[in-house]
Amino acid sequence: MKKYSTLTTYVLVSVFVVITALFIFNTVDTGQNIPYNEFQQKWIGDEVKSINVKEDKMLVEGVLTNGQTFNTYVPIDTLNILMKDNFKSNVKVSFQPPSNMGVWMQILPMLFILIICLVVFFVFMQQTQGGGGGNRGVMNFGKSRAKMALPDNKKVTFKDVAGADEEKTELAEIVDFLKQPDRYIEMGARIPKGVLLVGPPGTGKTLLAKAIAGEAGVPFFTISGSDFVEMFVGVGASRVRDMFEQAKKNQPCIVFIDEIDAVGRQRGAGYGGGHDEREQTLNQLLVEMDGFGVNEGIIMIAATNRPDVLDPALLRPGRFDRQIVVGAPDVKGREEILVVHTKNKPIGDDVDLRVLAKITPGFTGADIENLTNEAALLAVRRDKRQINMPELEDAMTRVTVGTEKKSRVISAADKRITAYHEAGHAIIMRVLPNADPVHEISIIPRGMAAGYTMPLPTDDRSHISKSYLLDEMVSLLGGRAAEKLVIGDISAGAKNDIDRTSNIARKMVMEYGMSDKIGPISFGTGHDEVFLGRDLGKERNFSEEISAEIDAEVKMFIDNAYVQAEKILKENMNRLHRVAEALIEKEKLQADEFEEIFQNS
C-alpha cells in the first residue's frame, strides 16, 4: 500500500510540473487571433476600445468596443503609420517596453523546469525498478533480492511440522551444527554444505526450511530461483555473489533457495545449447558453494519438485550433497497434520481424525490444509458454530471431485445412463477381491464428471501388485460394460475411465514388465526428455516389431478386463438394477446403504 501511495505522489508531482511549464511558457492571452487587415478595418471603423503594444514581440493585444479581446501581430513601424494616419483620441494606447533580460535569463526558467522533470523521473524509476531486500534503485540490479528474516517470537519450529518425522530427524543434525559448531569442528566432521529437499508440490519442503531456521535461531535468507535471472547479462551472477556476501556477514545463517530448478537446470541442454545468462548464474552459484570453509556456518537449503532436470555438478559432494525426499505422508502422518490444522478450529465431538486420515490417501500437507479450510467455509455457509464430520467429508469430496451442481437440469435418460454407469463401477469393486471398497456413489454432477464412485482404500500401498492393477482395470471398465448391457448403447462418459485403463495397461507392459509374452523388459527410459517437450522428447529404444507386440499386449489386457467386467455384471444383473434404481431415487448412496442393497439383492 505504501508503494502505491509513493507512486501516486510522484505522478501528481509530474502533472504539477507539466502544468507549471505550460503556464509559464504559454503567456499569450486567450484572446482571438485576427489578421492585420481585419485589425486595420476595426481601427478605422472605431471598433477598438484599447490596445497594449509589446514591441519586442510585435504583438498587439486589444479590446473591442463590444468587450471581445483580440491579438494580432504587426511591425511597430506599420502600427505607428496606422495610428498617425487615423488618430483616435478615444482609444487607450499603452506600450510594454522590451525585456532587458539576457539570453541566459530567458533560458533559465526552462532549464529549471527540465531539471525538476529529470529528478522526478529518476526517483520514479528508482521506486518502480527497485528490488527486494531494501535494494532499491535502477543502479542496484546486481544486488541480491534475498530477504533476511531474523529470529523472532513468530518463528516456525519442528512442532509446527507434522507427518515428516524422518525428515525432521535428518535436519536436526544441521540445527545442532548451527547451535554448537565447535563440537563438529573439533571432531573433524564436515557438516553437509547443502541440503536439497525433493518432493511433490505441497509436501512441506518450504515449511521444513523455515523450521530449521526457527529451531537454530539464526538469520534466514530466502530467495526464489527465478529472482536470479534478469534480462540484463551478468545480473544473475552478480546477485549470487552479493547474496553470499550478505550471508557471510550474518553467519551462522541459512540460505534457502526455493524452486532451484529455475536456475539450476542442466547446462547445454536443448536445441540452442541453453541460456547463457542462466548458465552464468549457475556457474557462479557452483563456485560460491564450493568455496565455503568448514567453520563458516552457512548452510544452503534448496527445494525442488524436479530433481531430474538439475545439473549434476549441483548435486555432487561439497555442494548439495544431502538429498532428503519429502513425500506424501502416510495415514499416521496425515492424522498428525490434521491435528495441526484443526487445533485452532472449533471441531465437533463427532469428528474422528483417524477415520478422516484413512479416507484421504495421497493427500499432501497442503491438500489437508485446504480440506480443513473448505470444511470451515462449509460450516459457516451452513450457519454452524463448529465443524462436524459431514462438513469434512463433503470438503474432501469437493477437493477431489469438484463442486456439486445440483441446479443443473438433467434429463431422465441422462440420469439413467449415469446411474447404471456408476452402479457398474460399484458392483465390480464390491465383487473383486483386490479392489478398494466403495465409500460413496453419486449421480450428482461434480466438476467435469456427471457422477462418481469413490473408493476407500483400507491401507496405504507401498507396492502395487499385478492382481490389483488387473482388478483396477476391470472396475474402471465396469461403467462402459453396464451401459452396453442395460442401455444397449454406449456414451462418451467413459472417456476418463478408458484413458486411465489404457495408461495402466501400457505401464504394465512397458514399465512394470508384467506381460507374460514380452517378459520383464522396460521400454524407454521411464522419463521424458523434459528439455525438448513431453511429446517431442519421447525417447524410444525399441523396434517397430516390438512396438506392435506392445500394442497387442496392451489391447489384450484391456480386452480381458472388459470381458471380465461384462461377466461379473451379467452374474449380478439384479444387484445392478437395484443399485441403479436407488441412485435414480436418492442420487447419492453411502457405503452402508450400498452394502445393504448388495446383500439383499
What would the pLDDT profile of 511-529 be if each residue is shown by its tens digit?
Answer: 888 998 888 888 865 554 4
pLDDT digits (tens, 9 = 90+) for 415-452: 899 999 999 999 999 999 888 888 888 888 877 778 88
Query: How deeply is 516 buried, as exposed, middle or buried, from its count of CB atoms within 10 A (0-12, 13-18, 19+)?
Result: exposed
- In angstroms, the CA 356 to CA 337 distance is 11
Query: How deeply is 529 buried, as exposed, middle or buried, from its count of CB atoms within 10 A (0-12, 13-18, 19+)?
Result: middle
Decide: 429 and 455 in contact? Cβ < 8 Å. Answer: yes
Res 41 pLDDT > 70: yes
Residue with cell 520383464: 520
HEC string of 408-438? CCCCHHHHHHHHHHHHHHHHHHHHCCCCCCE
Q: Where are the alpha helices (DSSP H) in 91-191?
A: 103-129, 165-179, 181-187
* Catalytic-residue membership of 566: no
Considering only residues 36 and 577, tell me which one the structure prediction assigns the higher pLDDT: 577
Decide: 10 and 123 in contact? Cβ < 8 Å. Answer: yes
Considering only residues 83 and 368, tell me which one the structure prediction assigns the higher pLDDT: 368
Least confident segment among 60-64, 143-147, 422-426, 586-590: 143-147
pLDDT the model gives residue 531: 47
Confidence of residue 48 (pLDDT cuts 50, 70, 90): confident
Res 136 pLDDT > 50: no
Phi-psi region of 70 (alpha: psi -120 to 50; beta: other; left: phi over 0): beta
pLDDT digits (tens, 9 = 90+) for 280-305: 788 888 888 775 555 466 888 898 88
pTM (2 decimals)?
0.65
pLDDT the model gives residue 452: 84
Question: What are the grid coordinates assigned to 149, written together?
Answer: 528474516
Confidence of residue 473 (pLDDT cuts 50, 70, 90): very high
pLDDT the model gives residue 128: 53
Res 140 pLDDT > 70: no
- Spatial CB neighbours of 195, under 8 Å, sequence gap ≥ 6: 171, 174, 299, 300, 301, 302, 320, 322, 323, 324
Considering only residues 483 and 224, tell me which one the structure prediction assigns the higher pLDDT: 483
In terms of Cα–Cα distance, which of 356, 355, 404 is closest to 378? 404
Considering only residues 241 and 227, tell me which one the structure prediction assigns the higher pLDDT: 241
Considering only residues 202 and 84, tell me which one the structure prediction assigns the higher pLDDT: 202
pLDDT the model gives residue 240: 82
Res 135 pLDDT > 50: no
pLDDT the model gives residue 152: 57
Q: Sheet of 588-590: strands edge to edge?
A: 452-455, 438-442, 588-590
Considering only residues 549 and 355, tell me which one the structure prediction assigns the higher pLDDT: 549
Least confident segment among 86-100, 215-229, 301-315: 86-100
Per cent of the chain over pLDDT 70 is: 79
Catalogue the E-assigned strands of 262-389: 298-304, 322-325
Residue 303 — φ and ψ, nearest 5°? -130, 140
CATH topology of domain 147-325: Rossmann fold (3.40.50)
pLDDT the model gives residue 551: 92
- In angstroms, the CA 59 to CA 76 distance is 9
3-class secondary structure, 452? strand
198-214 average pLDDT score: 85
- What kind and span of H or E run contains 72? strand 69-73
Decide: 591 and 439 in contact? Cβ < 8 Å. Answer: yes
pLDDT the model gives residue 536: 46
- Count of H helices and E strands in the chain? 20, 14
pLDDT the model gives residue 291: 58
Of these residues, 393, 422, 472, 483, which one is catalytic? 422
Residue 116 — φ and ψ, nearest 5°? -60, -45
pLDDT digits (tens, 9 = 90+) for 532-576: 444 444 556 778 888 899 999 999 999 999 999 999 999 999 999
Res 142 pLDDT > 70: no
Q: Is the peptide bond before 455 cis (omega within 30 degrees of 0)?
A: no
pLDDT digits (tens, 9 = 90+) for 85-99: 787 778 788 777 766
Res 28 pLDDT > 70: no
Residues for the chain: how many in total? 601
CATH number for the segment(s) 334-400: 1.10.8.60
Confidence of residue 104 (pLDDT cuts 50, 70, 90): low
Question: What are the grid coordinates assigned to 197, written together?
Answer: 529437499
Residue 95 — φ and ψ, nearest 5°? -115, 135
Which homologous superfamily is 412-599 in? Peptidase M41 (1.20.58.760)
pLDDT the model gives residue 24: 54
Considering only residues 7 and 407, tell me which one the structure prediction assigns the higher pLDDT: 407
Q: Taking CA 260 as the corner, what is the angle to CA 259 and CA 265, rounded to the nearest 5 degrees?
A: 120
pLDDT the model gives residue 379: 92
pLDDT digits (tens, 9 = 90+) for 313-337: 888 887 887 888 888 888 888 888 9
**DSSP per-residue letters across 351-362:** --HHHHHHT-TT
pLDDT the model gives residue 1: 47
63-68 average pLDDT score: 81
Domain boundaries, the chain: 147-325, 334-400, 412-599
